[in-house]
Amino acid sequence: MRTASPKAPSESNLNTHLANSGLRLTPQRQRVHEVLREKMDHPTADQVFLRAKDKMPEISMATVYNCLDALVQCGLVRQVTLDRGATRYCPNMQDHSHFYCDNCGSVYDILQTISPEEADIKIPRGFRLDNIETNLHGLCPDCAAKAK
Ligand SMILES: [Zn+2]
Ligand SMILES: [Zn+2]
């Protein structure tokens, strides 16, 4: 079951979100959420682990996975999957699309979504479209500048 959640949850309501899903706020979960919000570059679990370890040397990879699962479960973080790559994590719960740089592999949030109403898509009979997740591909500003 999904409940309506505030668009951009702050650190202060992290506790409320976790509690709503029957989860406890632990220093590890707080740290992992912090890591995701510090640099919104859609890190993989490995990258989250390395960054979390910086301030919390005792944290284990298993704990990081567990924390990420908990944050996804309570609607504070979403998983982003590239065609082949590892799952990445995004703490931006606003409706947005992802721009993938095909050269360096970085992922950017683009605050532009296509609503089912405005999309020109022929949906076969019997299907009900709820949302469209668009993936944009191209070059990030850095790579575009180098490609000139
Ligand atoms: Zn790039
Ligand atoms: Zn994102």
Q: What spacing in Å lies between the alpha carbon of 70 and ligand 1's midpoint?
A: 30
CA distance 122 to 89: 31
Could you say which ligand is closest to the alpha carbon of residue 97? 2
User: pLDDT band at 11, cuts 50/70/90?
Assistant: low
Q: What spacing in Å lies between the alpha carbon of 18 and ligand 2's midpoint?
A: 20
Domain boundaries, the chain: 11-90, 97-147
What length does the chain have?
A: 148
Give the architecture (CATH level 2) of 97-147.
2-Layer Sandwich (3.30)
Could you say which ligand is closest to the alpha carbon of residue 93? 2
CA distance 133 to 48: 24
Tokens coding 61: 């990879």
pLDDT tens for each residue of 81-99: 877 778 999 999 888 889 9
Could you say which ligand is closest to the alpha carbon of residue 106? 1
Q: Is pLDDT at 50 greater than 80 in this prediction?
A: yes
Q: What spacing in Å lies between the alpha carbon of 76 and ligand 1's midpoint?
A: 27
Q: What spacing in Å lies between the alpha carbon of 125 and ligand 2's midpoint?
A: 31
**DSSP summary character for residue 127:** -
CATH topology of domain 11-90: Arc Repressor Mutant, subunit A (1.10.10)
Q: Is pLDDT at 38 greater than 60 in this prediction?
A: yes
3-class DSSP string for 16-74: HHHHHCCCCCCHHHHHHHHHHHHCCCCCEHHHHHHHHHHHCCCCCHHHHHHHHHHHHHC
Q: What pTM was estimated for this model as a whole?
A: 0.77
